[in-house]
């Protein structure tokens, strides 16, 4: 009997089936399922395996959708926002949080040492430097892949190239002298910066208020992705340098224009929709968006990438996209980026006003959202010409409730509302500017 069994073990395939019964049983079962599926498909024209795969994918998609909506809902509840603020205050003890209209926001601001004015691109040529135009490799771990999959319905162009912070150059007093940047893709930012808020949310679900009973070192240690960023860096380094993460730079601008009918200055705002990747349902000063190339996802030419490293173009593109509903300006399908942006009718009109002195565009500084650790280059645009009030403003899909608010009414407007933290930082910088002081905007509040 033993000799017969040894003989069978030496027979190709048969021996393997005997030696590894679990594996062999699984193979037989798989072959049986495939054969059965083939018979059903031939006789009834129904592919059961395909239907099963589609069902599993749909089920997974629905679960991700449900989890994302729960995250959106819970992360905007007052209890979570207060808890998150306390956690961040415990971690960033050396960073000054921004106060606005009697409330504190988890943002850090760095004012510019030089108030650059229009034309921004010419003035800021020595201020901004693209250090590296090579897209870095991205290897996501299991949790990053899950988070990315959960957020994928809100991400339109994950492979689009943009510019991430390398480092801000500061004066001894902490004012910005300039910055260097590297290239990245939007998916880099989702998986290393945006994930930081979701990480806080998951810890809140697990630990709640009990977490605050622990030391700041312990709190940081259990935040896997945030603590990874902090390795080898001071708290100020984390804010002003892009090490250990890929934080896409953003641009944001407060547009203020004079309305002769109201005899006052107004500004457009909207409430962020559920279609955005971070912080839906927050009121936001617009326009604001990533400092990305205005090209296709497939664009990898170093020359084209370097030509897109233009803050003024990014600002004007966001203005077209978010304030003039420029759907065609979400990606470049037609030609050279400078021509497309500067020949848009609304930009042509705006640049006439800027050149005539009826409008003023000024760089204010940087605002870093301490939740996601994303930096935003912040500007203010003031338009004094009364005819600009006739402009037909229209928001895009990123907003749900578009409003034009009297600037000095903003404290009342945002009382009890969720204000996008980076917008709070922008407002704090704007109210200190000479443009606002000369017009009596937000003074004494």
Q: Please tell me the predicted confidence (pLDDT) of residue 12.
A: 56
Q: How many residues does the chain have?
A: 445
pLDDT over 90 (residue 180)? yes
Token pair of 406 as six digits: 């009297």
pLDDT over 60 (residue 14)? no
Q: Is residue 232 part of a domain?
A: no
Q: Based on the fold, state whether residues 104 and 29 are members of the same structural domain.
A: no
> How far apart are alpha carbons 130 and 147 in whole angstroms?
29
Cis peptide bond upstream of 119, omega within 30: yes
Q: Is residue 82 part of a domain?
A: no
Q: Is residue 60 part of a domain?
A: no
Domain finish residue from 27, 46, 65: 46
| CA-wise closest residue to 360 among 249, 265, 261 | 265
pLDDT in tens, 234-285: 999 999 999 999 999 999 999 999 999 999 999 999 999 988 888 999 999 9
Q: Based on the fold, state whether residues 292 and 396 are members of the same structural domain.
A: yes
* Domain boundaries, position 348: 98-186+238-439
pLDDT in tens, 293-315: 988 888 889 999 999 999 999 99
Q: Please tell me the predicted confidence (pLDDT) of residue 37.
A: 72
CATH of the domain at 176: 3.90.79.10
Q: Based on the fold, state whether residues 110 and 27 are members of the same structural domain.
A: no
pLDDT-derived band at 398 (thresholds 50, 70, 90) equals confident
Residue for token digits 């990053």?
A: 144
Q: Based on the fold, state whether residues 300 and 401 are members of the same structural domain.
A: yes
pLDDT in tens, 116-160: 999 998 889 899 999 999 999 999 999 999 999 999 999 989 999
Q: Based on the fold, state whether residues 40 and 152 are members of the same structural domain.
A: no
pTM of the full predicted structure?
0.86
pLDDT over 50 (residue 9)? no
Q: Is residue 151 part of a domain?
A: yes
pLDDT in tens, 28-85: 666 777 777 777 667 766 775 665 555 555 578 899 999 999 999 999 999 999 999 9
> How far apart are alpha carbons 66 and 60 in whole angstroms?
10
Q: Based on the fold, state whether residues 27 and 171 are members of the same structural domain.
A: no
Q: What does the pLDDT average to over 320-344? A: 74
The β-bridge relationship of strands 374-383 and 359-369 is antiparallel
Q: What is the tally of structural domains in the chain?
A: 2
């Amino acid at each position: 009997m033993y000799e017969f069994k040894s003989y069978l073990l030496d027979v190709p395939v048969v021996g393997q089936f005997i030696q590894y019964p679990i594996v062999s049983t699984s193979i037989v079962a798989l072959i049986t399922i495939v054969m059965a599926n083939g018979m059903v498909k031939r006789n009834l024209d129904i592919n059961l395996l395909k239907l099963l795969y589609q069902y599993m994918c749909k089920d997974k998609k629905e679960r991700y959708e449900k989890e994302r909506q729960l995250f959106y809902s819970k992360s905007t509840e007052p209890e979570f926002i207060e808890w998150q603020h306390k956690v961040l205050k415990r971690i960033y003890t050396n960073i000054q949080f921004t106060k606005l209209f009697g409330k504190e926001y988890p943002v850090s601001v760095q004012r510019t040492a030089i108030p650059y004015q229009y034309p921004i691109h010419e003035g800021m040529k020595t201020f901004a430097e693209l250090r590296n135009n090579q897209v870095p490799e991205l290897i996501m771990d299991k949790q990053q892949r899950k988070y990315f999959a959960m957020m994928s319905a809100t991400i339109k162009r994950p492979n689009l190239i943009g510019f991430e912070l390398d480092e801000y150059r500061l004066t001894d007093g902490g004012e910005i002298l300039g910055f260097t940047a590297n290239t990245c893709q939007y998916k880099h930012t989702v998986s290393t910066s945006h994930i930081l808020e979701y990480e806080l949310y998951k810890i809140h679900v697990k630990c709640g208020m009990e977490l605050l009973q622990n030391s700041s070192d312990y709190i940081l240690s259990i935040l896997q992705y945030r603590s990874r960023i902090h390795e080898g860096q001071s708290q100020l380094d984390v804010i002003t340098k892009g090490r250990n993460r890929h934080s896409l730079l953003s641009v944001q601008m407060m547009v203020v224009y004079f309305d002769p009918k109201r005899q006052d200055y107004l500004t457009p705002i909207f409430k962020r929709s559920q279609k955005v990747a971070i912080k839906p349902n927050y009121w936001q000063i617009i326009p604001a968006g990533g400092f990305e190339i205005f090209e296709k996802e497939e664009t990898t030419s170093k020359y084209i990438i370097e030509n897109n490293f233009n803050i003024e173009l990014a600002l004007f593109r966001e203005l077209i996209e978010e304030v003039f509903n420029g759907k065609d300006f979400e990606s470049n399908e037609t030609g050279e980026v400078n021509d497309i942006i500067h020949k848009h009718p609304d930009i042509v009109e705006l640049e006439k006003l800027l050149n005539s002195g009826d409008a003023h565009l000024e760089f204010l500084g940087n605002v870093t959202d301490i939740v996601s650790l994303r930096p935003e280059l912040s500007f203010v645009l003031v338009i004094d010409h009364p005819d600009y009030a006739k402009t037909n403003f229209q928001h895009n899909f990123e907003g749900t409730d578009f409003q034009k608010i009297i600037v000095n009414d903003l404290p009342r407007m945002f009382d009890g509302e969720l204000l996008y933290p980076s917008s709070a930082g922008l407002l704090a910088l704007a109210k200190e500017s000479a443009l606002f002081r000369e017009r009596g905007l937000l003074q004494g509040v």
